[in-house]
Structure 1
Amino acid sequence: MNFNSKNPFLSDKRFSSNAVSKAEEVHEAKIIDYNQEMTLSGTINKTAILFLILTAAAMVTWWMAFNGMNPIVPAFGGAIIGLILVVIASFKQHLSPYLAPGYALFEGLFIGGISAIFEIKYPGIVVNAVSATLVTFLVCLGLYKFKIVKVTEQFKSVVIASTLAIATYYLFSWLASLIFNFTPVHYGNGMMSIGISVFVIIIAALNLFLDFDQIEKGVQQRMPKFMEWFGAMGLMITLVWLYVEFLRLLSKLSSKD
């Protein structure tokens, strides 16, 4: 069984020659111009740009929240618009240079909003969550770069199956809570809830390896330049997921004190 990256942006299908759009076919027909091909350094630069945009937007929302504005409004609005941009970009990769910055902007509103909500209730939690996310990213990047962790087909299968299981569980738990007034086991600060959060964080971190691998494959296959934005956007999606899960875990641990 051949699983790909959980991240819809970084699947083998998205980074294969069969998924090339008409614009990409034209690219292949032209004389090779290495300045128009996806590179690792270019993807890193794009990721840094998206991170800066996201951080700036989050800081604005953070400031507004601590000056009287309800943070739920930008958090909810940013999440919805960000999701729409993700869906569009997953089908229109050539628009990534425009959609990726927009995603970072609105996802920054979301991150800033929920961060403010958690910080008000649990002072200091945001710094810890940011630090944990950064350390996890650097550790995973180092393990991947030095080939300590190799992304094999079996590795992909385990990570993707686990990710799909998490997504399915979250979806059905949410529906059950709406229909039957059911309280999911991952709510609260019990040991079971904390254990689930730890498991989800581990799977989110493992998805980083799949993201790194797919970006590297895109570079090796000499994908078009706009795929740098596409790959960077996909990596940001995983990092946002990881950060949110760290916020949830740390809030559960804080509430036990």
Structure 2
Amino acid sequence: MRTTNPVMTADAFVGLRGMAAGSTMTVQGTVNKTGWLLLALVLTSSWVWGQAFSRAPVQGWMLLGIIGGFITALVTVFKKTWAPVTAPVYAALEGLALGGISAMLEMRYPGIAFQAVALTFGTLAALLVAYSSRLIQVTQKFRLGVVAATGGIALVYFISLVLGFFGIQMPFLHDSGPIGIGISLFIVVIAALNLVLDFDFIEQGSRNNLPRYMEWYGAFGLMVTLVWLYLEMLRLLAKMRGRR
């Protein structure tokens, strides 16, 4: 399961410009593909959610979703032409993971899953309006700043994972104190700003007449960010609820 989104980079355009002659990438086509991916994610996450609340073991499904989703994401990044197949598979696998994670937190903090979903899609809608109205513009400095911050977060999570194998917990990262909540807020902001980069990638891909399969790749990249943002919303809400 990815926690950051290196998918939407300028490298994704390399070797693709001018390839498409007939069918090309469009914004509307990417929106439609995103809808199908969301449907796949909702279906599998709802199933695992139901299994969890019926007291059936779901750890195996969650593990399959986490590992399978990560592998599928890597394949999609390096084999963009496979995106029409791998993107739906990724969404379905992520649904297995998110359904289990959401259910476990819901049992501990009732209502947290709905709150995280509402905040995630509320953020998506607000940033889409801001981007469409050009209140937010993707300049080179903006892009570099978001990418650098995202890379820094990925590095911190990786170090935390390695330290965890030795029984060492990184200070503040998982704490529910003011500093821990502040860190989560910062990560949520960076995850949200990645949505703006996704919007720009999709728009630029359409303008550059990329091949139609890039609609699936654009939808996949947007899904990666939405999954990350949702997980960070869950983490932030859990920290805040844990202080009560």
Q: Does TM-score exceed 0.5, indicating one fold?
A: yes
Residue segments in structure 1 that go unaligned for 5+ positions in a row: 1-5
Per mean C-alpha deviation after superposition, the further-off stretch among 85-94 and 67-76 is: 67-76
Structure showing greater Rg: 1
C-alpha distance in structure 2 between counterparts of 1:251 and 1:8, whole Å: 26
Map Cα deviations across residues 116-150 of structure 1 (whole Å, 9 max, x no partner). 11101111100000000010000010000000000
Per mean C-alpha deviation after superposition, the further-off stretch among 192-201 and 178-187 is: 178-187
TM-score w.r.t. the length of structure 2 is 0.95
Identity over aligned residues, as a percent?
Answer: 40
Alignment of 1:105-120 (within 5 A): 105-120=92-107
Aligned length, in residue pairs: 241
For the residue of structure 2 that corresponds to 1:19, the secondary structure is: coil
Aligned-residue offset at 1:76: 1.8
Shift of the 107–180 alpha-carbon distance from structure 1 to 2, 3 Å rule, reads closer
Aligned-residue offset at 1:183: 4.5
C-alpha distance in structure 2 between counterparts of 1:220 and 1:208, whole Å: 18
Residue segments in structure 2 that go unaligned for 5+ positions in a row: none
* Aligned partners of 1:201 and 1:242 also within 8 Å: yes
Cross-structure match for 1:142: 129
Cross-structure match for 1:251: 238
Runs of 4+ displaced beyond 3 Å: none
For the residue of structure 2 that corresponds to 1:10, the secondary structure is: coil
Aligned-residue offset at 1:180: 5.0
Amino acid at match of 1:11: T
Cross-structure match for 1:59: 46
* Aligned partners of 2:65 and 2:96 also within 8 Å: yes
Alignment of 1:1-257 (within 5 A): 7-14=5-12, 16=13, 18-20=14-16, 27-28=19-20, 32-33=21-22, 36-179=23-166, 181-257=168-244
C-alpha distance in structure 1 between counterparts of 2:56 and 2:170, whole Å: 30
CA RMSD in angstroms comes to 1.4
TM-score w.r.t. the length of structure 1 is 0.90
* Aligned partners of 1:177 and 1:184 also within 8 Å: no
C-alpha distance in structure 2 between counterparts of 1:188 and 1:85, whole Å: 31
Map Cα deviations across residues 205-233 of structure 1 (whole Å, 9 max, x no partner). 01111111011111001000100000000
Aligned-residue offset at 1:71: 2.9
Map Cα deviations across residues 55-112 of structure 1 (whole Å, 9 max, x no partner). 1110000001111122322222101101111111111111111101101111110110
